[in-house]
Structure 1
Amino acid sequence: MNTIKWILTLSLFFGLLLFCIIGYFYLKASQYDDTPTPSSHADAGVVLGAALWDGKPSPALVERLEVAVKLYQDQKVDYVIVSGGLEKEGVTEALAMKDYLVQKKIPKERILLEDQSSNTRQNLENTKKLLASTQIDNIVIITHDYHMTRALQYAKQTGLNDSLVAPVHSEVLFLPYHKTRESLALIKQSLGF
């Protein structure tokens, strides 16, 4: 009887500990929820890739791209870097994003492609490499607000320390699911994986 009670107590303790850990990282994933788009100028906006649907940007990726369009139209950025190498039907995220931006009247020569990455860390590592061959000195990172904490941590690890942020609040995603998923990704990142 004491063994069962001890096991239940231990299980409850670890369950509460896990709940607190996930809750902490859920709050970290929520810290950019109400952050406005930057009012200062950056040389380029970097749109981090997301899913494609039938070779075209998904509604969530369109949300990120629309922020880039607005920043460009408001002359807050001179260039847009689209970052994402995952292919869907022979089209990379970066190419699909470029096509979308061209349709929105952003000149092709103002769009730079980083089409080799398959995750957030690679998005920023490869963007840093791309920037080495340009005159671009400062960037604004464009991604969803729940994703911004992890993106900024990777940006700092790659030397993109002074990046501005343009967090996108989604109207199309089920945020409790995505924030919980992002909380688990933040835990994994903090453990060094």
Structure 2
Amino acid sequence: MNTTKWLLTFSLSLILLLLLIIGYFYLKVSQYDDTPTQSSHADAGVVLGAALWNGKPSPALVERLEMAVKLYDDKKVEYLIVSGGLEKEGVTEALAMKEYLVQKKVPQERILLEDQSSNTQQNLENTKKLLAGTQIDHIVIITHDYHMTRALQYAEQTGLKDSLIAPVHSEVLFLPYHKTRESLALIKQSLSF
């Protein structure tokens, strides 16, 4: 076999292997598609942060917050923890989420802020620290369905085991892009364990 043919075969094999790996992780991030919210009661719902637009929750973050409002209104949770510290125009994700929830008639005293994190892992690590010394034992994680696999892995890693889930299926995001991006993040996470 000449060198050119060998290089072509090797390159095609490598590309095929990469596509298979990404495909496997794409299926993993899709496993919570159409999964209903667990109906058990939890002490608190933890809303994982997402982008702000002009200091306000983006449409995708609003989807997560609407799930939180529903869980609170349906008395499935007693508290809501908003988690996200990335600042835009002097406002953290957590503060913008709290303001949104207050406008939706969630009492301020029922909203806890975790405003120091800048990624999913920190969201859950800092939430665990925030819960220390409280009466809150059982949580439900509120995030998009494609993000749930990684969020649950970090929850388990930080000791927030047996967390319930409230996966939100997006109507505003271009899901092939976000699922592919999440697949790559899950691959990176898997390599760092």
Q: Structure 2-normalised TM-score?
A: 0.99
- Structure 2: state its 5+ residue gaps: none
Which residue of the partner structure matches residue 79 of structure 1? 79
- Structure 1: state its 5+ residue gaps: none
Which residue of the partner structure matches residue 115 of structure 2? 115
> Over the residues paired in the alignment, what is the CA RMSD in angstroms?
0.8
Which residue of the partner structure matches residue 35 of structure 2? 35
Which residue of the partner structure matches residue 20 of structure 1? 20
Amino acid at match of 2:162: D
1:133 Cα deviation after fit: 2.6
Counterparts of 1:116 and 1:124, CA distance in 2? 11
CA offsets, 1:83-123, max 9 Å, x none? 00000000000000000000000000000000000000000
1:134 Cα deviation after fit: 1.1
CA offsets, 1:50-72, max 9 Å, x none? 00000000000000000000000
Note the 1:1-193 alignment, pairs <5 A. Answer: 2-192=2-192
SS at match of 2:38: coil
SS at match of 2:170: coil
1:172 Cα deviation after fit: 0.1
Amino acid at match of 1:132: A
Counterparts of 1:19 and 1:48, CA distance in 2? 29
Counterparts of 2:2 and 2:128, CA distance in 1? 58
* Equivalenced residues, count: 193
Amino acid at match of 2:43: D
1:38 Cα deviation after fit: 1.5
List structure 1 segments (4+ residues) > 2 angstroms apart after TM superposition. Answer: none
CA offsets, 1:11-62, max 9 Å, x none? 0100000000000000000000011011110000000000000000000000
Amino acid at match of 1:161: K
Amino acid at match of 1:127: T
1:148 Cα deviation after fit: 0.2
Q: Structure 1-normalised TM-score?
A: 0.99
